[in-house]
Chain A
């Protein structure tokens, strides 16, 4: 019997085949199936020939059948999978990215068109697609960076080999006026440029090496949806200082006065309830009595009806009660002075 495995496999090196035949001769190693996650590559030709052995008039004979050929068509399948957790955002945020991975789960090389859709039912607001809104994670950082290239439909549609994948960002701006806890969704769709449709739809001759392309169970299109949630509130506090020395200069000499300015801003929506700023007077400095201002208005140093005081119970500390703050409250500016000992 001359029984060779009649399989044409463009991706299998010759030495591998030889090794397998050698193993076969020793009959100790089983020949397992190939391990292509996406299946046998498109364009593979699977040939088969049956052999009949028999004795005729006491003489052994062997005859072969015709050879059948199965041409492996290209199956078009794709999987889009969100990678990012729910993104916490504030009203008015810009360029907030969601990361997705698009994988060619078919068995041939395929080109995919990408699209963003923010009109997703069931959420409270629609993120506003940035321009451009789709980027490749070109530098592989997992974060949107200046090195990442923008996607332009029809110009740089990703071409993926079987089993290959690519990371994609959707980039959105968050509208002003969204409320606490609001959720906005953004969807990435990857679509085969060869064709889509019900599983089994055939696009004759359009697959790899000219074989037929057949739509798989994904329909040649896959989408996944990411989510933004508006944070309760974010409070930004910035402190700066200016030195005035006794000679009209700005040298931090003993006796010079440091004017500290603290600004507090509420970002996003919601209310920062009963906000209090506490700022210890730095070591080697002494608070300048009566120097505390809130939004330009003097506050007494004593703990009394007004919003601020110097708390000397532990270390001297400026305390200012800002109360309930919202975006509408605007910037709160606290100023006080200390002299260098």
Chain B
């Protein structure tokens, strides 16, 4: 489906363009956008320090970045079983407790996205020794929506990570 959507701009024939446009509308029930920003500490005129999010065009090791995923049901019917999944890059260290989102249950994967579980349920086996997973073991974070996403509704999921 998404392949057709991507091809749409390059199709030259207007008839095909109209046809695919109609089809694409059906396929594009949910729009999703990711932005990433980094945290900077800004000293105010009164000497207090506040943390602000600024564009993360470049980051250095030790800096903290925040990913925000916005999604919206642009179709005419509700969407069920909505799950948002985001890989955690190997060079990023997930910040414990940072994953958030209204009406979303947070789960993690420690096996490259094959299986997911709650933070306190995940276990890993290293050199034959099993132990509880730590945030360093996370490969993916996902948010499982507890209610259906009604037509026209939107939501946000976010998490923070530190660049190693």
Known A52-B30, A52-B71, A63-B30; judge A9-B112 contact (CB<8 A): no
Please judge, given known A-B contacts A5-B90, A74-B60, whether A40 and B163 are in contact too, CB under 8 Å: yes
Chain A 66-83 interface mask (CB, 8 Å, partner B; 1/0): 111011111100000000
* B93 lies within 8 A of A33 (CB): yes
Chain A 139-198 interface residues, beta-carbon cutoff 8 Å to B: none
Q: Are B112 and A25 in contact (CB under 8 A)?
A: yes
Q: Which residues of the partner chain B approach A7 to less than 8 Å between Cβ atoms? A: 89-91
A249 within 8 A of B: no
Q: How many residues of B are in contact with the other chain, CB < 8 A?
A: 57
A54 touching B60, Cβ below 8 Å: no
**Chain B proximity mask over A30-72: 1 for CB below 8 Å, otherwise 0:** 1111101011100010111111111111001111111110111
> Which stretch (B10-18, B45-53, B79-87) binds chain A?
B79-87
CB distance from B124 to the nearest CB of A (A): 4
Provided the pairs A54-B30, A54-B83 are in contact, do residues A24 and B139 lie with their beta carbons within 8 angstroms?
yes
Q: Do the beta carbons of A72 and B91 come within 8 Å of each other?
A: yes
Interface residues of B in 22-70 (CB under 8 A from A): 27-36, 56-62, 65, 67, 69
**A5-B139, A27-B115 known; A48+B86 contact, CB < 8 A:** yes
Smallest Cβ distance from B42 to chain A, in angstroms?
A: 11
B97–chain A nearest beta-carbon distance, Å? 18
Residues in B whose Cβ lies below 8 Å from that of A26: 111
List of A residues within 8 angstroms of B111 by Cβ: 24-27, 30-31
- Report Cα–Cα, A38/B164, bound state, in Å: 9
Instruction: Assess the A30–B32 pair: CB atoms within 8 A.
Output: no
Residues of A within 8 A of B67 (CB): 48, 50, 68
How extensive is the interface on chain A, given as a class?
35 or more
Distance between Cα atoms of A60 and B1 in the complex (Å):
11
CB interface residues, B 75-134, toward A, < 8 Å? 75, 77, 79-87, 89-93, 110-115, 124-126, 133
- B87 contacts which chain A residues (CB < 8 A)? 3-6, 48-49
Docked Cα-Cα span, A87 to B57, in Å, equals 49
Asked if B2 and A63 sit within 8 Å, CB to CB, the answer is yes
Complex Cα distance, B133 from A30, in Å, reads: 8
Question: Are the C-beta atoms of B85 and A50 separated by less than 8 Å?
Answer: yes
With A31-B110, A65-B33 already in contact, the answer to whether A53 and B62 are too (CB < 8 A) is no
A72 B32 Cβ-Cβ under 8 A: no
B80 cross-chain contacts in A, Cβ below 8 A: 54-56
Chain A proximity of B88: nearest CB distance (Å): 8
Residue of B nearest to A44 (CB): B91
B82 engages A54 (CB within 8 Å): yes
A4 to B112, CA, bound (A): 8
Assuming A4-B87, A32-B137, A40-B91, what are 15 further A-B pairs, CB within 8 angstroms?
A3-B85, A5-B139, A24-B113, A27-B114, A29-B125, A30-B110, A36-B61, A38-B61, A40-B163, A46-B91, A48-B89, A49-B87, A54-B80, A72-B60, A72-B61
Nearest 4 A-B pairs (CB), nearest first? A39-B61, A24-B112, A30-B124, A73-B58
| A and B contact pairs by CB, cutoff 8 A, 21 listed | A6-B89, A25-B112, A31-B139, A32-B137, A33-B91, A34-B90, A36-B164, A46-B91, A49-B86, A50-B67, A51-B32, A52-B83, A53-B81, A53-B85, A54-B29, A57-B77, A64-B32, A67-B34, A70-B59, A71-B58, A75-B60
